Each structure stands twice: as C-alpha cells, then as structure tokens.
Amino acid sequence: MNRADAYYEPEDFDDRWDEIEERAWQLIKTPQFDPYQAGNISEMMGELSVDMAKDLQAILDTHDFEQIGRKIWAMTYDYMEKYAKDQAEGEL
C-alpha cells in the first residue's frame, strides 16, 4: 500500500448540530416545551426512571424547599430539552 492509498477522506457529513441546538432553544421557550409549565412538570414526573426517583427522593428528604424546586425544574428542563432536540432534528 502506498501513501495515497492510506489517505482517509471522510464521507460528506451534514453537520447541522448548531442549527438543531438553536431550534431546540427556540422550542424550549414555547409552552409545549417550557419547563415552567405545570403540565410539563407533571409529564416529567410521570416518566421518572428509578434512578431519577432516587435522586429526587434524596433531595426531598432534606426538606429544603429551594433545592427541591431547583431539582424538579432541572429534571423538567432536561426532560423537555430532549424532546425539543428530537423535534428540532425532525424539522431540520
């Protein structure tokens, strides 16, 4: 094998990650994906995994209402962000 054969040329790759991230950010601001919407919090709570429930329980056991609120919001944000990115990918 000579040096010319060793050269690797990657396939054309349409990297639209930045566009997907931007669109997902726009979607998060809509009521459908907004982590401040009670319906979205409720949806996330209904889909808790065992590990997520354990993490939440650990915070609940502290009785620190500020930390509980932050945890629930963060979990809802992560949950809704995943769906916003999925929708953004489908749109683009």
Q: What is the pTM of this model?
A: 0.79
Q: What pLDDT band is residue 15 in, cutting at 50, 70 and 90?
A: confident
- Write down the pLDDT at residue 2: 59
- Write down the pLDDT at residue 14: 60
d(CA 40, CA 33): 7
- Write down the pLDDT at residue 6: 60
CA-derived radius of gyration, the chain: 20
pLDDT above 90: residue 67: yes
d(CA 40, CA 35): 6
Higher-confidence residue of 74 and 91: namely 74
